[in-house]
Structure 1
């Protein structure tokens, strides 16, 4: 529970068990909403497995413990895989919700479907307890881990808890209208609840998909670029350089920074150690030193090398 990989493993195990129980209860109770909840969870679990593999690759690459042909073919690390997985996860979950919404609308138009509310309520209560507990555990752990994968996993558990709570309310209403004048509404409760749940789910991964696309397309993060430019301008003034060029990108948890300093042609010669000292000064000023920062600093008298 103290590492990203350990937390994701526990999440995968709990998700698979919960998904299996959901599909079983959905079939027994006749609720397509519960079946969808189980299938949705299995999809999320499958993507979490991929996220765990990528997380292990990134961790092993950052610590230098990675071995074999895979690391040999990815000498610049595995950060670029993280936004791909996050984006694919969001797209798959959104697609599953859209498909379920279409099925729910079709079921409503056909007159709904019968549902065993007793079994549906039992499933909803158990699921809410488990999902709330997992959301709390993941959120607390991520205060230290600060992982995008764990953050997405915690968000998924919170989503699941909220949506299952909505299903529980619908099932309880359906249970209490049995034997009343409103019993004719019973067949519509499951598809209507599913449709409402899907309408809530569909836009939720949009932020994750948008950020993942930005990372994949190497869109420059404005705040990081401003910080790097401010540091570089200070260095230019302090050491008498002419100007600088900064290239910045966020790729998953990785920060890729390339800095070029244009030095006057008549600049007095310096030892290599002195240039390295300037690099150390720049690295400290930029901050966030660690395995997830890729910092390249070059000095040249020819601006074409920097443009």
Structure 2
């Protein structure tokens, strides 16, 4: 079991099973308590199940070797799947926002607080534990799929704590004689939470599109790689270098073109391979699969 939860497939499978439990509980208790907030939480978990299965299938497909059809790998599938996942979440949040806004202007909704509080307590605690597990695993396994799962559970965790806080306030207001505001609390919570969550899928969709377009990765990654290249250039007295970096899914593509002059220390194929080893060693701490291409030329036109 310990080895299973150390793999991407194992971690995603645990996320799927957890989402199934929360989705069933959310939908059932949402209907019993007549709470749109809990029903929204349950539907979010149900959609998470479908999206997690999509991630699991895509992750397994990417890991299968198919060099003849995909000579550069299948990592491009990862950001495409993430765009689909976050688009679905965006639609769900937008629909909940519109529905809650309509309910506020039509008198709100009555809620059975007993069921609502029970679900809120269990959901908040459970989501926190699953999110904590996924976020820790994401630190050791650099996977866009696991990061997306962690983001889904973080949103669900915030949602659950917001639900819990809202229902506690509702119960206190009802006990203090302000029961006339209780019908508005449930749609108000949906409005605030779904409105806040809309920015998360939007930001992640933008990131995924950047990977599909093979744009440059985060500045931190670029700085680590460019620092290594500068050291190699000085060490071997190389006149000029051109660095191109992009990240697609879990793979980091690094292409370096060195322009050599007569005074350069790099003369033989063996010395060129030594430069490649130095670069590979310098960037090995970056936790992505690397596709490293290093070329040497004396004519600058082949490097630009």
TM-score higher than 0.5: yes
Query: Structure 1 residues 155 and 248, CA, compared in 2 at 3 Å: closer, same or farther?
Result: same
Taking the aligned partners of 1:282 and 1:207, their CA distance within structure 2 comes to 32
Output aligned runs, 1:200-279, within 5 Å.
200-221=196-217, 222-264=219-261, 270-279=267-276
Count of paired positions: 299
Deviations 1:159-202 (A, max 9, x none): 32222122123223434555874222232222112112212212
Give the unaligned 5+ runs of structure 1.
none
Query: Structure 1 residues 300 and 14, CA, compared in 2 at 3 Å: closer, same or farther?
Result: same
Whether the 8 Å CA contact 1:54–1:78 is kept in 2: the answer is no
Corresponding residue SS for 1:25:
helix
Which piece of structure 1 moves more, 41-50 or 95-104? 41-50
Alpha-carbon shift at residue 271 of structure 1 (Å): 4.5
* RMSD (CA atoms): 2.8
Which piece of structure 1 moves more, 150-159 or 120-129? 150-159
Q: TM-score, normalised by structure 1?
A: 0.85
Which piece of structure 1 moves more, 31-40 or 267-276? 267-276
Whether the 8 Å CA contact 1:47–1:89 is kept in 2: the answer is yes
Corresponding residue SS for 1:205:
helix
Corresponding residue SS for 1:13:
helix
Alpha-carbon shift at residue 234 of structure 1 (Å): 3.7
Whether the 8 Å CA contact 2:243–2:255 is kept in 1: the answer is yes
Corresponding residue SS for 2:57:
helix
* Equivalent residue in structure 2 for 1:120, among 116, 119, 124: 116
Give the unaligned 5+ runs of structure 2.
none
Corresponding residue SS for 1:164:
helix
Output aligned runs, 1:69-80, within 5 Å.
72-80=68-76
Output aligned runs, 1:154-169, within 5 Å.
154-169=150-165
Query: Structure 1 residues 235 and 177, CA, compared in 2 at 3 Å: closer, same or farther?
Result: closer
Corresponding residue SS for 2:101:
helix
Pairing 1:105–2:65 present: no
Pairing 1:174–2:166 present: no
Taking the aligned partners of 1:291 and 1:143, their CA distance within structure 2 comes to 12
Alpha-carbon shift at residue 240 of structure 1 (Å): 4.2
Whether the 8 Å CA contact 1:283–1:289 is kept in 2: the answer is no
Whether the 8 Å CA contact 2:237–2:263 is kept in 1: the answer is no
Whether the 8 Å CA contact 1:51–1:149 is kept in 2: the answer is yes
Q: Which residue of structure 1 lines up, in the alignment, with residue 16 of structure 2?
A: 12
Query: Structure 1 residues 151 and 9, CA, compared in 2 at 3 Å: closer, same or farther?
Result: same
Which piece of structure 1 moves more, 115-124 or 3-12? 115-124
Query: Structure 1 residues 115 and 297, CA, compared in 2 at 3 Å: closer, same or farther?
Result: same
